[in-house]
Amino acid sequence: MLENKDQSRTSLSELGEFQLIEHLTKSVKLHHKSTIKGVGDDCAVIENQNKQTLITTDLLVEGIHFDMSYMSLKHLGYKAVMVNLSDVYAMNAFAKQITVSIAVSNRFPLEALEELYAGIHLACKTYQIDLIGGDTTSSTKGLLISITAIGEADKKDVVYRNGAKANDLLVVSGDLGAAYLGLQVLEREKQVFQVNPGAEHELDNYTYLIERQLKPEARKDIVKLLQDLEVKPTSMIDISDGLSSEILHICKQSDVGCNLYEDKIPLDQQVISTCEEFNMDSTTVALSGGDDYELLFTISQEDFPKIKANPHLTVIGHITDKKEGCHLITRGHQKVEIIAQGWNAME
């Protein structure tokens, strides 16, 4: 295979659509009893018995949601699954199945789709997800991936965005801002590379940031943890667009206000040092940067003792009456209004 370069790139036109689907899905193993029928018929069949079924879908378009110049197809496949699973976990439910639909131009050889599916299969294996179907078509230009995730939960466990009450605590998992900075580092490298393709890449100081951008992990562990701690959040959302816009979603839908404390926002050491190097404000990065896939939720004060010692969870503020508005309390004890892109420093 290595002697002849052409032989290592199999044109998609050499396979029919059915052969391609068969090739990409033949290694699929089903994990769940609820998956009655997976790939191979007109429909997949799921039996969720007494549970509620949760469904979410995302469409990713090359050049808009991802850039293949620094993202491998394997990472892309993995991340595309994570983005969807994260939405299911944000409802306090467990994801069980996905469907994957792709539109692909003939610029991509079979080997590229194998890479993409290697990422998808790895995500499914790690998170115990059944790949149960999809659709395959051609595109004139580039790659589109649409993934639908299906989850289940007992009715009593499902958490919406609209349940936050005054005096609830505002809690976040993990740490924030790293994925956005990872993207900045990769963009910078791409520019250096375009000017000087032989340039050495010195990325040791940014490994955590890059990993958070290229290989995010959806927080299934947090849903499990909350279950084990017997804590049911009053509201929850995943942080895909930055902390400030997600907080505003919860406040708007719950008809409440909030106070968020700047000094409580969890930041990794690499975020702090890279913000210094790039001359960026780490709070702005945490509030406005995207792609963190952490969970933001509210809990009633009574539940505080159950979570307080946990290293994965940080209380960053509390919910107030709506009339008090949504504010960031800065390190200097100033109270500034939170706006979707960071905060309104004019107040």
First to last CA, the chain: 65
* Options 16, 19, 29, 40; binder of ligand ADP; rule CB under 6 A: 40
What string of DSSP letters covers 44-82?
A: -EE--TTSEEEEEEEEEEBTTTB-TTTS-HHHHHHHHHH
Asked if 69 contacts 155 with a C-beta cutoff of 8 angstroms, the reply is no
Asked if 306 contacts 315 with a C-beta cutoff of 8 angstroms, the reply is no
Judged by CB under 6 A, the stretch of 37-45, 57-65, 144-152, 155-163 that binds ligand ADP is: 37-45
Report the 10 Å Cβ neighbour count for 48. Answer: 15
Count of residues that bind ligand ADP according to CB under 6 A: 15
Nearer to Mg ion, 135 or 281 (CB): 135
Q: Which of residues 206-225 bind ligand ADP (CB under 6 A)?
A: none
Q: Which of residues 118-157 bind ligand ADP (CB under 6 A)?
A: 131, 133-136
Q: Supply φ then ψ for residue 146, to 5 degrees.
A: -120, 125
Nearer to ligand ADP, 102 or 185 (CB): 102
Nearer to Mg ion, 42 or 200 (CB): 42
102 binds, among ligand ADP, Mg ion, none (CB under 5 to 8 A by kind): ligand ADP
21 binds ligand ADP (CB under 6 A): yes
Enumerate the β-bridge partners of residue 46.
35
Nearer to ligand ADP, 3 or 42 (CB): 42
Asked if 92 contacts 159 with a C-beta cutoff of 8 angstroms, the reply is yes
Residue 109 and residue 30: Cα distance in Å, rounded?
27
Nearer to Mg ion, 135 or 255 (CB): 135
The residues that touch ligand ADP, with contacts defined as CB under 6 A, are 21, 24-25, 39-42, 100-102, 131, 133-136
The residues that touch Mg ion, with contacts defined as CB under 5 A, are 135
